[in-house]
Chains A and B, each alone.
Chain A
Amino acid sequence: MPLNRLFAKCLLPGIFLLLPFLIFAQTPVVTGKIIDDKGNPLPGATVTVKGSNISVTADSIGQFRINAPAGSRTLLITSIGFADKEVAITNHPLSIILTSDSKALGDVVVVGYGTVRKKDITGAVASITSKDFSPGVINNPLQQIQGKISGLVITQPGGDPNGNLIIRLRGQTSLSGGQTPLIVVDGIPLDDPNQLSNIPATDIASYDVLKDVSATAIYGSRGANGVIIINTKKGTAGRPHVEYNAYVGMDHIAKDFGLLSGDQWRAAVKTIPGITQSTIDGLDHGANTDWLTAITRTAYTHSHNLAVSGGSGGFNYRASVNYMKQDGIVINNNKEQYSLRFNAEQKAIDDKLDIQVALFSSQVNRQYVDYNIFDYVNTTPPVYPVHNPDGTYFGYYDYDQQNPVAQQMLEQNTNREKLTQYFSRVDYTILSHLKGGVQGSISQLTTHYDFFQPTLPGVGNLSSAQQNMGEVDSKKGDIHLNYLNSFGKHALSATAVYEYNDFDSSIFSAAGQDYLVQNLQDNNLGGGNPSLNQITSYKQQYKIISLLGRVTYNYNSKYYATVSFRRDGSSKFGINSHWGNFPSASLAWRLKGESFLKDVSWIDDLKLNAGYGVVGNQDAITPYSTLLTLGGSGRYYNPANPNYQYPQSYAPNQNANPDLKWESRHGTNVGASFALFDNRLNGNINAFSDKTKNLLFTYTVPVPPFFYNTILANVGTLTNKGIELQLNADVIRAPKLNWSVGGQITFVRTRITNLSGTYDGNAITTDQVPVGYAKGRGYDGNAITYLKVGQSPYVFYLPKSAGLAKDVDPSTNSNQLYYAADGSKVADISKAKKYYTDPSPKFTYGINSNLNYGSWGLNFFLRGVYGQQLFNNFANITSNISRLPGNNVTKDALTNGIKGSQTASDLWLENASYLRLDNISLSYSFHNVKGLDNLRVYATGNNLFVITHYKGMDPEIRNGNSSQAYIDTNVYGDAFYPRSRTVLIGINVSFK
């Protein structure tokens, strides 16, 4: 019998019989632990016996146990974000280190109360890591990602270093109160999104943006505006690693107002009938002052960041210090920031115990701009000098008119802000699949505002001084449980959290007037007229208590489901609705895992996802809005008391509404993500449809019976519908040459669908509410934008301009004409027909290009808005020759023919679409520099050009957080701080 037949006939059955024993004898079970290159356990990594379809998933601390068939020699370990690794099977427990796959960096996404591998995400979540951040003079970290994430619209209204960004995720979500996404820095939600400007950008490693309602529902009553999760840089195992990043930038005003110069003013006033020579002589002080130039300058910024990180023996750390000083382009205006951040992690007891601590502390000193000076620039005749011949300030006073240089230079207007955050977290692996732990954080912001205004030349005001001290504190604690396990092809994880939040804030203020010695500024507050001293204080508190849970499931990495539920109680809510429930569910289907796509080589990955959820917004409710409370209501005269003749009176502060509760946003999202052509083209597309119900708004109620004519109530409804597309393409991949281009485009349509409902059993019926006003001398309460059912928020309602008459009509004091309903031209604007115009952008977009050739890099980023309309209130006021001679006008005023009083018509509505070169950067990396790991130098330009038809100073104005949305107001302190053009050079150095 040939040997092979003997084998087949006799031995084979025998071997089969013996097989179980053989396996048992050889490698019955393989165990091991998987960690990443920083020493962190890698839960959820897939362990497969190579050549078989046997696989398991590592547990919550990275441990696994797998039965390997006889003859198996190798395990294949895969985990998204890490390079695949093959390991020989041994008898001993394996210790496997996966190294992160640089191409897939950031593929673990923080989704709130946990992390998820990017490929397992079921909701609309976008991530961006430091390599894709925009460089430039960054005073708020989110400027790093402005325009880069579809659905996230960030607006920087002007160039004020102390200005705040306007951040909107997926459209306007509310009519009042905050619409800024919840911002969570390393697990600590910021008490106020503007605190982000106190956090240095250079410490940030990545942003994870939770966009759809199914993703944000885990944040319950605070999730309606979306959630931006910020992850700071952490230490990694190894020798101490020292990094230094710095830049020096130079800002210059990007555009001016186009006002007349002194000589142009002199030429113009001579040609205008009715202006007498004596008037001209009275005004003309012989100067040629460009007042905008007088209040601006070339400004310098420098920023330094030094960080040390490393780790060994289960201990990792990172510590950094930052300094930044940014001068505004307006004189006597700046921001200076110092901060330090430290975080550390210690593992012990076979890595079962994990302790993390973090500390952040910063001080920001701000010197503010008095926004009234921008008015004074436009009103002051350019023939006034800044200074008298003796060097003192030239003083003058008239309606909305005084020396802006004197005002800005002589006023003290500063704030010191100290933000400190403490964080600690302890986790313990209770069972192999179950971890439990506690987390706590404290955030403290103290502010100290100093103000002093001396008696200004020509104004004759009393000197005044003020100090305000504010504290905003929050304490947060949670107890959490995490479960992670897999059963064959089924993978299951669950999270349960109890969370307690306490928010306290208080303010103390003292002020005085009429000081003899003005040099003391506000350091001798009591030194003025004692009868003019004022002290005030205020304190408030509220709590949010939550129970929340999330379960995720996937089958064979093909079919995914996530269910979450949060129950939030807030002391701000009315007694009738203290608790709210916020559920969500989402599903995903990874088509690439299906057999029919397995062999389609050009598709590397393809996934569909869909989700639904309910989230809340409680920002508009102040802590005691639901209660009938009495507060100080002015003083009254009681002459019968000789010592104290003006006691305080007490009256209700508001119409209390015990029904108040959160706004609820109900959202549906469907999306697809894909990677094609060997990952050369990847991206995602999402479509969403959200409805916000119980809209909080300060609705009008009748007087009588009320004595306040407004009440905060949950009444209206609005919808947001949109499509977002994000694409990235590696166009060239060559050994020395890489070029990738990418971009995003976001379409959002917001509609108010209802403004009527009930509160406390009473009906509110509202059809439209005036919100935005044309402003300036001659206007008072001229509403031009409205909240209107069926329209987008802040829709314009304006007459159509019908050109100009030759002469001013004495009855209207204007030569402007409008179309009446019958098509005729009328001079009386009250007889004109009005039309609605939707000012909201049709879409917003961003385009980036990254080109690397050898050691050189050239990157640029363009961002734009299309279809936006703005009311050019500035031109409406200043492009009018009738302002001469007492005020200045634009050069347009000399030719546009408009005379007399200004009126608000669609003549001033302008297409404000724009495309801005946000930044362009050229960099060079030195290699093989002795003693250095990395040495890179770069030069960056910000805002080098903007393409727009808009005639105002800049089309990116304060839209979104102001009732003056889409109105380029520019008067009475509502001014636009001119935007700058920036050039900077920077350096990154690191060594071990």
Chain B
Amino acid sequence: MPCGLFHSTYERDEKIFQTKWVKAWLGAFLIFLFAFPFLFDDYLIYNANIIGIFLIGALGLNILTGFTGQISLGHGAFMGVGAYVSGYISTTLGLTFWVALPIAGFFTAAVGMIFGIPSLRLRGLYLAIATLAAQFVIDFIIIHLRPITGGSQGLMVNAPSCFGYVFDTDRRFYFIVLILVIAGVCFARNLFRTKTGRAFIAIRDRYLSAEMMGINLFKYRIISFGISSFYVGIAGALWAHYLTIITPDHFTINISIQYLAMIIIGGLGSILGSIYGTIFMILLPEVLRALSEIVKDSLPYFTFIVEALREGVFGLVIIIFLIFEPDGLAERWRTIRSYWKLWPFSY
């Protein structure tokens, strides 16, 4: 039994699959994911779909915030841009979903890059506020651009179809989401082995040093905004076609906050962290709802208070996590794993 991995070459260290076991487990997990819809009921598949959709967005935000160090409070609105563009193209213009999806991604990327321009001069908190403004401005546009977005009444969107096969049930839609999630994770994981990805990390760690080493800060920050918004635009488009009706209420600042919570709880600057964080944040309200149902049955008098407190528990969980687990779930997972690896002879 080896007591650790000791790499002797750089190539070995950069490998995605560090050991054969990792590869084997991942393969088994993939098979499980493809078998998932045949094993479980609609409720679980629905949650899996939502997790998948938001995971794509969370990956996008993590690329921008976790890896490049640019805080964004506008990703809820960017998600809305993707959703409405895809909805408009596929429903009003009548093009197929498979064309609308990439267009939505690229359009959102363009919008994200425009709102990323202030990052040339702004850092940290100022940039966070600029993206907060993006959130409100885009919200306003969505509500008032009635001919395209349907205003506050919302927009009906078709379910995607392929040669007459309509992806209109949870189970069918699952496979679209799954394939896009796998593509998104693979791209993100590989991105940080390229020059662009390493430039992002250098900018996050110390942007002055990065600039001195010849990294064009503005260019890479804008690229980061673009990639990040592309992801979240795709997530928005998927969500639109999954819900089949979208209203401005779906893309408020609460979504932006939820995205931030996902990547912070999961772990900033970690692909795995985005996954854990998304699963946690999507399942938390479901668990709370189930608990409040139980409380409701035994204490009917408190129903109204329980409803209000659910929101509060959400905040409380975030606070507790940040105070006691500031590095996120991914880090906790790593420490647990390394503890058991050498158990019972840990030091």
| Chains A and B bind each other | no
Q: Which B residues form the contact surface with A (CB < 8 A)?
A: none
